[in-house]
Structure 1
Amino acid sequence: MRIGELSERTGVARRLLRYYEEQGLIVSERCANGYRSYDVRLVDRVLQIRGLLDAGLPTRIIRQILPCLDKPRRIVISEATPDMIALLEAELHRMNRRVECLARNRDAIAEYLEEVRIYARADAA
């Protein structure tokens, strides 16, 4: 598929897709006419990348952990420096805090919504 279709299917701008390619996160093939051609399996890969970026991971870390997300998994231990391990531990801790915060907010909104519904039913009666 061409870059426009990949962009449409993932909701990721063409410019970002080119950036992902420059960063080694995705690969394309060049057609005879010079256009990029992307494998359909990259739709899921781009969505994974988008999720990891949204979670705050830098592309240099995403590039290293992407093989771990493939099936079958292929973990590249040789690139796991102490600095990288520390960074991943910090990111994991930050993500866990964020998940806990989101869960608290979700629960608070659900509780508030329930109270609003009770009030609305009592008011309607």
Structure 2
Amino acid sequence: MRIGELARRAGVSTRALRYYEQQGLLPARRSSNGYRDYDEADLKLVSEIRSLLTVGFTLEDARPFVDCLRAGNEAGNACPESVEVYRRKLAEIDEQIRTLLGRRAEVASQLADACPRCAIRTGATT
């Protein structure tokens, strides 16, 4: 399939696909007329990349998952390198949560000092 079809089926722009190619995540074979040529395996790679980006992974984080798929595994998370990225990402998220909780406590303390009778909500507000 050509780049436009892959982009449409994956729900991304052709620019994104070219960028993934530039970063070495998406191989681009060329047909005799010079057009990029992709197959179903490439669609799976792009889907894997997009799902990881959606939850906060970087393109570099996605590399082990892509390599795992390219090695013939059914899932990008089937390799030890991918599992290690999950572990590292969870540690990063846990650290961000600790940082945010500390900031929240400081702001709540400042609010209590500024307005002793103000109620401080403990849950998220919308």
TM bracket, shorter-chain basis: 0.5 to 0.7
- Unpaired segments ≥5 residues, structure 2: 98-126
Q: What is the TM-score of this pair, normalised by structure 1?
A: 0.58
Q: What is the TM-score of this pair, normalised by structure 2?
A: 0.58
Q: Return the structure number with greater relative CO, CA threshold 8 A, min gap 6.
A: 1
Change (3 A) 1:52 1:34: same
Change (3 A) 1:92 1:4: same
**TM-aligned CA deviation for residue 55 of structure 1:** 1.2
RMSD: 3.0
Matched residue, 2:24: 24
- Unpaired segments ≥5 residues, structure 1: 99-125
Change (3 A) 1:90 1:76: closer
CA contact (8 A) 1:28 1:39 kept: no
Name the CA distance, whole Å, in 1 between partners of 2:74 and 2:59: 21
Name the CA distance, whole Å, in 1 between partners of 2:90 and 2:46: 21
Name the CA distance, whole Å, in 2 between partners of 1:12 and 1:6: 8
Change (3 A) 1:92 1:68: farther
Q: Are 1:92 and 2:90 an aligned pair? A: yes
Amino acid across the alignment from 2:90: L
Matched residue, 1:58: 58
Q: Are 1:71 and 2:74 an aligned pair? A: yes
**TM-aligned CA deviation for residue 92 of structure 1:** 2.2
Q: Aligned residue pairs: how many?
A: 90
Matched residue, 1:110: none
The structure richer in helix per residue is 1
Name the CA distance, whole Å, in 1 between partners of 2:88 and 2:64: 16
**TM-aligned CA deviation for residue 15 of structure 1:** 0.2
**TM-aligned CA deviation for residue 72 of structure 1:** 7.7
Name the CA distance, whole Å, in 2 between partners of 1:76 and 1:89: 11
Q: Deviations over 1:7-38 (max 9, x none)?
A: 11111000000111111111121112111000
Amino acid across the alignment from 1:7: A
Matched residue, 2:47: 47
